[in-house]
Each structure stands twice: as structure tokens, then as C-alpha cells.
Amino acid sequence: MATGVHRSSRLLGAALVVAALASTATACSGGSGADGGAPAPAAGQQAQGAAGALAAYAEKVRAQRAARVAAARKWGLARPPLEAPAPPAVKPKITTRKGFETDGEGLPPVFTTVPTKQKVVFLTIDDGSEKDPELLRMMKELRIPYSAFLSDYVVKDDYGYFARMQKSQEGGVSLHNHTLNHRYLPGLSYSRQKSEICGMQDVIEKRFGKRPELFRPPYGNYNEDTLRAARSCGVKAVPLWASEAFPDHMEWREWDRDLHPGDIVLTHFRGKGDWKGTMPDMIRRVMNVITAKGYAVAKLEDYV
């Protein structure tokens, strides 16, 4: 049901765009070309052009949907992932979650859920110790957006893997900051926290070409010094998480043990040596839960 709604919305949007373009062309031409310009196309030709554009768009959507169904079957998902709706034209205002505040003002907001009414959630993967090529193939074929929060001590042995990840999907996979060495930050001085956070900003910019604006503190622990240090080197927001995915179960922050619009889902780059399954096993688990509850995975950076 949700898939049909998302698809219908996209087709309707395309139809409106095509109709608007046809209308604009008629108005701008003056209808006859008396000013020396080329004569305007006849109304029937405009209608045929609009219908053709809409048909081409519909065919593209059908082809993408068929590919996603085939990919879901290949990777053992119970159902194909739902397609996310178009992102908001204006990103929602992000504020710090109640109970997560510090005494400082003007610091990056700390949050677990993005304010939206759309039935979307956001998938984030932390650290970088497991570098499974099957994960890249799976996520590309299923067209599932995700964001990676990297720690240098576990990614520096293979920066190339994350460079390939960054370019593995249309629109890219964003790489963000999870500190250099994954320390418990509240136990460090301000200067050492700044070194951990700003040092990782430098690494990501040097290795992957873009200084990240999102930062996640290890273990989700921080204090005011953490946020001050993060702000000093360009961090704009601090997304934590509302639930966590494993290959064999989910863990929940909220009392109702459920998903909500805008929830951030955490998981980790891990393999069989660390938990009961592979990265694709984990994706199967979390996507079966997300899809069964009627949610699509959207790209975090489109909202934050």
C-alpha cells in the first residue's frame, strides 16, 4: 500500500511538471510566432509531448521498481524496500532533544529523531572495522541510502574501501566523523577532545574530499566540551540514534519499542567475528523490520 502511494505521488508530480512546462511554452510563444520567432506547436503536439514525457518517466519508475524487486529476491529480503518520498524543499529545523542539553548556547543540536511527518527513517553505520564488499553491492542494488560515521583507527588500513563506498550509489554515500580513536570523550580534556574530533575532520577532508558537518560521539557520550570542540571545526549537528540493528535482533531507545517518523537507526561495520552474522545479514534484518512497519529509508543529509 505504501509503495503504491509513493509511486503515485511521483507520477502525479511528473505529470504536473510536464503540464506546467507545456502551459508555459504556450504562454511564452504568444501562439502564432508573429514576433518573428518560431511558431508555437499546436495544442495536439503539446499534448503528445506531455504524454510522451510522462510515459517515459512512468517506464523509468517501473524499471527501477522491477530492479528493486529482483534485488530484494537476490539478497533474501522478505519484501522489496519501500521507496522514499521526495525530500522536503526546506530542511526541517533541528533542535536538541529534551534531556540531552548542556548549559552551553549556540552548540550543535543533539538529536535521535529528525522532525518530519513522512514515514521515513535514516540508516547510519558506525566505525569502519568490517570492510565487506558484499555490503556495497547489496546497498547499491537495493538502492538503500545510508550514512557512515568513521573512526580513523579502524579505517586507515583501507581508505580505498570507503572511497569506493562514497561513490557506490547515485547521489553518493556521505562519510561523517566518529573521532580518530573512538575514545570516551567526557573523560578527556577539551584540548584532547578537540584533537580527536578536529583531527578526524582533517582526515576525512584529506582522504575523501569533503569536511563533514555531522559528528557522532563514541558510545553516544558527550559533554559541553565535546560540542564546543565539534563546533570549532565545522560540525553543525550531532545525530545519535533511536534504535540499533544487529543481524539477529533490534534494540530500542523508546519505551514503545517501535519506529517513528524521522527515527535514526544505528548499526556498525561488523562481521561474524563480532556478532551473529555478516553485514548483509544485518541489512536483511533491519530492512525486513523497517519495511514491515511501513517505513522507507531516506537519505539523512536531505533532511539535516
pLDDT digits over 119-139, tens only? Answer: 999 999 999 999 999 999 999
pLDDT band at 225; cut points 50, 70, 90: very high
Per-residue model confidence (pLDDT) at position 56:
80
Name the average pLDDT for the chain: 88
SS (H, E, C) 77-139: CCCCCECCCCCCCCCCCCCCCCCCCCCCCCCCCEECECCCCCCEEEEEEEECCCCCHHHHHHH
pLDDT band at 34; cut points 50, 70, 90: very low
CA 218, 130, 111 angle in degrees (round to 5)?
A: 30
| Average pLDDT for 208-212 | 97
Q: How far apart are CA 171 and CA 112, in angstroms?
A: 24
Q: How far apart are CA 13 and CA 298, in angstroms?
A: 19
Q: What is the pTM of this model?
A: 0.83
Name the residue with cell 502511494: 5
Q: How far apart are CA 244 and CA 74, in angstroms?
A: 25
Question: Closest Cα partner for 32 from 43, 17, 21?
Answer: 43
pLDDT in tens, 69-124: 999 999 999 999 999 999 999 999 999 999 999 999 999 999 999 999 999 999 99
HSE-up of 237 (CA within 13 Å, CB side)?
17
Contact 119, 56 (CB under 8 A): no
Burial of 38 (0-12, 13-18, 19+ CB in 10 A): exposed
Per-residue model confidence (pLDDT) at position 43:
65
